Amino acid sequence: MSSATRPIKPKKNIVRRWVIFIALALLYIWALSGVPVEGFKETAGQISKAIVSGIFSPDWDYVYLPEGEDLLRGLLDTLAIAILGTFISAFLCIPFAFWAANNMSKIKANAGIGKFFLSFVRTFPELVMALLFIKMVGPGSFAGVLALGLHSIGMLGKLFSEEVENIDFGPSEALKATGARPLQTLWFAVFPQVLPGFISYTLYRFEINLRSASVLGIIGAGGIGTPLIFAMQSRDWSRVGIILLGIIVMVTIVDIISGYLRKKIV
């Protein structure tokens, strides 16, 4: 083959590749430079062994204790925090969702402000919110409920507003033409269109909130996290084992039920 007809490998791609490669290399040099190398405690092996054996021989007695403060009550508390927190946010985020939807107001900046507000709430970690609520209403489940309720507005509001942006305005026009009041138009023409999406997203958020609720107790905001952190501090690994097992089972069951309901709604 003559070299003239041969296509030349494009130079631009090669340069781009090198730029990416060097950037990544620098990033990792920087990242690794900050990690303490001396790292491991000598006891690490011993403790891991204790943890593993603890997890595989869970403290079954802890599942139910007649005098209270047992696994079942802890899990129930966690579930209750997640349910209430999710409901509060699903309710409170509706006005924000309409605020942040592009098709609900004539001024574009208005929806932009709403979207910014929601992303602000979304980035505010729920654990930090919980810490602040503990200062306000005292330690316990209620602080956890408030933290989840407020934090979830960010994500639910965003998902809900996307649902609102997809509505068909035809039915609203038809309702308006029959002489309906604005609220009636909203209820009969807009709500039936967005409700299935709202419910589905709320269930999805509930799955996430259940996971969050199981760690809230670590900082004192109620739920199963509190006995877990106590068990860890007292190195009661078989109790840690049963609590972990309890969380995994509960989360899995809730995921399955919620997934089934979400499939049925759509």
Q: How far is the CB of 102 from another protein (least distance, A)?
A: 18
Integer angstrom CA distances of residue 189 from 100, 101, 137: 19, 17, 41
Single out the segment in contact with another protein by CB under 8 A; choices: 5-13, 36-44, 59-67, 93-101.
36-44
Least distance to another protein, CB of residue 4, Å: 30
Residue 117 lies near another protein (rule: CB under 8 A)? no
Q: Is 65 or 137 the residue whose CB approaches another protein more closely?
A: 137
C-beta of residue 138 within 8 angstroms of C-beta of residue 129: no
Asked if 175 interacts with another protein (CB under 8 A), we say: yes
Does 150 engage in binding with another protein (CB under 8 A)? no
230 binds another protein (CB under 8 A): no
By three-state DSSP, how is residue 58 classified? Answer: coil
Binding to another protein by residue 209, rule CB under 8 A? no
Options 31, 67, 68, 106; binder of another protein; rule CB under 8 A: 31
* Residue 232 Cβ vs another protein, minimum distance, rounded to whole Å: 6
235 binds another protein (CB under 8 A): yes
- Which residue in 126, 130, 127, 152 sits closest to 143, CA to CA? 130
Rule CB under 8 A: choose which of 95, 248, 259, 260 binds another protein. Answer: 248
- Nearest C-alpha neighbor of 221 from the set 208, 232, 212: 212
CB of 148 to another protein, least distance (A): 11
**Cα gap 70→48, rounded to integer Å:** 25
Q: Is 107 in the site for another protein (CB under 8 A)?
A: no
Choose between 49 and 61: whose C-beta lies nearer to another protein: 49
Alpha-carbon span 4 to 1, nearest angstrom: 9
Closest-CA residue to 165 (of 193, 199, 189, 205): 193
- The stretches of 140-236 forming alpha helices (DSSP H) are 141-165, 170-177, 182-185, 191-216, 225-233
Task: Determine if 263 is a binding residue for another protein (CB under 8 A).
Answer: no
Residue 110 to residue 113: CA distance in whole angstroms = 5
How many residues sit in the footprint of another protein (CB under 8 A)?
A: 81
3-state secondary structure of 156: helix
Q: State the Cα angle at 18 between 13 and 20, rounded to 5°.
A: 95
We find the least distance from the C-beta atom of residue 89 to another protein, in angstroms, to be 13
Site residues for another protein, 55-74, by CB under 8 A, read none
